[in-house]
Amino acid sequence: MEQFLAELARTDVGDVRHREPLSAYTTWKIGGPADVFVIPHDEKQLAAVLRLLRKHSVPWTNLGRGSNMLVSDKGIRGVVIQLGDGFDYVRFEGTLVHAGAAFSFIKLSVLAGKEGLTGLEFAGGIPGTVGGAVYMNAGAHGSEVSRIFKSADVVLETGELVRYGPGDMQFAYRHTVLHDRPGVVARATFELREGDRKEIAASLASYKDRRRRTQPLQLPCAGSVFRNPPGDHAARLIQEAGLKGLRSGGAEVSAQHANFIVNTGQATAEDVLALMATIRSTVNDRFGVDLVPEVLVVGER
């Protein structure tokens, strides 16, 4: 690690911080420190840090807006990468939308609607980045990234920039090839359709109102904790199991939406993990369904 840190200090990789608390970077407001926190501002810097990591066999984690991630209380060993402002952009070209991986997925849906482009309305409630949405094949309201995806430029661990088309991504429910083949999305292109601006705006407003009524957005949370099992909804199973309002330390199963765990003030990752374990075992005992976590659990345990 010392050799890596020495070479990192000599290399243009962007901003470098040490022992950076990750609770400030997750929507759950939970997480211990990263050994090293790197913010590359362009593809050259991103490629440079990835090559260094590979050269010295240092583990790394890519962090977007931390909206679908639980970071352990002990933090993350190695390096955490968060893309900087050079990846925060959008450009429209007819029905194509080109966006940097750090661009807000919610903002992208709003801007696309203002351009009279339909297909991204489902993204209006997904509080992550474009890169994170591509990585997870994020979805809501009956649609998902795979339905509008055209291509993504990915920087591999070797520093090589490759372009993945729909067939390369191996899209599945909340899964892509990026889970198995490490790399960082630098930008993505989506193919939308021309639509009516008023209808698109109405759909976005309807989804926003529904989120406000059904989701505990006033408290730190990370979105849906568990994947929906085939033909059912995790929230229904958790609610029917009588687990709404269940607490562990500062973490609580939301009384508003059973598939959300909220941070009521001083929740730790261990509090959240304890609730997740109780939910899984109770739902399994009651309904014979093994709920699969949708949130990514990362860091030292």
Domain match, 263 and 285 both:
yes
> Which one, of 293, 281, 295, 294, lies nearest residue 241 by Cα?
281
Burial environment of residue 284 by CB neighbours within 10 A (0 to 12, 13 to 18, 19 or more):
middle
Q: Is residue 206 assigned to a domain? A: no
pLDDT at 292: 96
Q: What CATH number does residue 53 fall under?
A: 3.30.43.10
Q: Which residues are catalytic?
A: 174, 224, 294
Q: Flag whether pLDDT at 238 surpasses 90.
A: yes
Q: Is residue 204 assigned to a domain? A: no
The CA-atom distances, in angstroms, between 253 and each of 58, 201, 250, 275, 282 are: 36, 32, 10, 8, 13
What are the tens digits of pLDDT across the range 99-114?
999 999 999 999 999 9
Task: Note down the domain range covering 243.
Answer: 216-298
Q: Flag whether pLDDT at 145 surpasses 90.
A: yes
**In contact, 26 and 66? CB cutoff 8 Å:** yes
What are the tens digits of pLDDT across the range 49-60?
999 999 999 999
pTM: 0.91
Helix, strand, or coil here: 264?
coil
Rounded CA Rg of the chain: 20
Q: Is residue 243 assigned to a domain? A: yes
Domain match, 18 and 72 both:
yes
Domain match, 160 and 138 both:
yes
Domain match, 77 and 97 both:
no
Q: Give the count of domains, the chain.
A: 3
What are the tens digits of pLDDT across the range 26-41?
999 999 999 999 999 9
Helix, strand, or coil here: 154?
strand
Which of 33, 62, 82 is the endpoint of a domain?
A: 82
Cα angle 19, 25, 31; round to 5: 60
**In contact, 194 and 116? CB cutoff 8 Å:** yes
Q: Is residue 211 assigned to a domain? A: no
pLDDT at 98: 98
Domain match, 94 and 73 both:
no
Domain match, 137 and 54 both:
no
Cα-to-chain-centroid distance, residue 206: 23
Q: Is residue 192 assigned to a domain? A: yes
> Which one, of 108, 101, 32, lies nearest residue 62 by Cα?
101
- Please give the single-letter amino acid code of residue 287: F
Residue 202: CB partners within 8 Å, gap ≥ 6?
none
pLDDT at 88: 97
pLDDT at 193: 97
Q: Is residue 208 assigned to a domain? A: no
